[in-house]
Structure 1
């Protein structure tokens, strides 16, 4: 079991931003991710910085901590430009980058460039082509491609990623098309649980829903001839009825239950006061340093 965190890009680097990433490394988190959005929900009218520059700065300020997005989407990204940025970030971090990638939703990112929001089918169509082309761009020196949604003309990505054959993808998915993409291209799979259960569901219902998702991931892997054990299974917390940051014991129970489902990485949001991610910092830090030890992992 790995324990990781999400640090939202809400702090100026010169006013505590740098120190948070360094503290994440000191606490022993496996990976520190950040959201890749132009803005997000209740933070829309507050400070919010770009993911790739933030991760680049974090790479220079740390030495062991893995870094990543959770998640990048096609809503405002293009595979060609994203690939160049990721190769550069992977180089600067000396191979410590994981790309969390998902289909995106109908939030602010979906209309910021002046486009109409995509339907669920359109999002899935873009996502499938996006991931497939990005995989090629990160593994091949020269790529030309003409697709329905994206094109690449003699694109050079030399010298490629430090990590070979490319940096790992953590594919966020719950539907059949997304799960098949995770099975084909992912080194990890990401879920936040069943969003319908967040407000009024129970922890028991959430566990049952997650168990079903893991089962469907296994089927998707079988369909493409892949061992599901090859994919890490990542649970991004904060969107299920559970409250694992309420206390140390609550986290230990939560982690144990979800480890039994097959999850081998749990991601906690770094506490932000006066937000949906508010939490007792002392409890959070104790979980970071002692929580997995209680599970014997």
Structure 2
């Protein structure tokens, strides 16, 4: 199993840098950050931009993979976004993962003055976003005519370091999103339960994950794709809780999710207060007994 960590982009880089480097030293396989203009509970708090943060993280580290979890069409157009992805892949020397999701609307839509979209229209927009992003990252020149996104002769040179493109991680829980993941994703991402209510303990999340994973298998079968070619990533801390209580709960969660087919388990770096409150020292215990710590990160 691969292990990942999410950092909220809330600290000035002088402090944030230490945490990104520390994640690499602890032995995490990948590190991520949110891609919002501002974010629900921390709307009045410090919040830095995603791409510059990941660029800085790429220059401060040497091994760990880096990514957006997730970028969305609510505040991204595929053409400039693909150019940024290509550049991040170059700066990180092939360590970037392009995490994308439909977006939940809300604060970012308000900031940009966008009208709220209904579920079907939001799903339509996301389908175009995924398809066009995939094409842009694969092809040197792309033209596309859609309802939500259009481009004429978009050039992407020299292309991604990783071939045929950077890995795409598609966040999806519903039938249509999982269908998109089956067609385009290298990594399928789920928080298991939709919405922002009270979280479920990790062991209670396993049956629902199995149902979603089985649906992904079915969608792969319909298009003749090997389901094993898609990694399955669970994000904990939002709707799945209890994983970081101790090294024992982390190891238990890895075992239960691993048996269910999870290939990648992602936590949030513990914060001193809500949301994602927790103790950082638990990470040292996890590194010592579960991960493979490294030294000498840049």
TM tier relative to shorter chain: over 0.9
Q: Is residue 2:4 matched to residue 1:7? A: no
CA distance in 1: counterparts of 2:38 and 2:203, whole angstroms: 32
CA distance in 1: counterparts of 2:290 and 2:278, whole angstroms: 16
* Count, aligned residues: 292
Alpha-carbon distance change, 230 to 146 in structure 1, aligned in 2, over 3 angstroms: same
Is 1:193–1:239's contact at 8 Å kept on the other side of the alignment?
no
Is 1:56–1:89's contact at 8 Å kept on the other side of the alignment?
yes
Moved segments of 4+, more than 6 Å? none
> Counterpart in 2 of 1:153?
152
SS in 2 for 1:52: helix
> Counterpart in 1 of 2:188?
189
> Counterpart in 1 of 2:222?
223
Structure 2: runs of 5 or more not aligned: 293-298
Query: Which residues of 2 match residues 46-65 of structure 1 at below 5 A?
Result: 46-65=45-64
Query: Which residues of 2 match residues 100-179 of structure 1 at below 5 A?
Result: 100-179=99-178
The alpha carbon displacement at 1:204 in A equals 4.8
Alpha-carbon distance change, 168 to 151 in structure 1, aligned in 2, over 3 angstroms: same
Alpha-carbon distance change, 176 to 94 in structure 1, aligned in 2, over 3 angstroms: same
The alpha carbon displacement at 1:10 in A equals 0.6
SS in 2 for 1:235: strand
Length-normalised TM-score, structure 1? 0.94
Write the deviation string for residues 252-272 of structure 1: whole angstroms up to 9, x where unpaired: 111111111100110010111
Alpha-carbon distance change, 241 to 2 in structure 1, aligned in 2, over 3 angstroms: closer
SS in 1 for 2:111: coil
CA distance in 2: counterparts of 1:44 and 1:148, whole angstroms: 31
Alpha-carbon distance change, 275 to 155 in structure 1, aligned in 2, over 3 angstroms: same
Is 1:199–1:241's contact at 8 Å kept on the other side of the alignment?
no
Alignment RMSD, CA only? 1.6
CA distance in 2: counterparts of 1:25 and 1:204, whole angstroms: 28
Length-normalised TM-score, structure 2? 0.94
Is 2:199–2:238's contact at 8 Å kept on the other side of the alignment?
no
> Counterpart in 1 of 2:89?
90
Alpha-carbon distance change, 200 to 162 in structure 1, aligned in 2, over 3 angstroms: closer
> Counterpart in 1 of 2:295?
none
SS in 1 for 2:114: coil
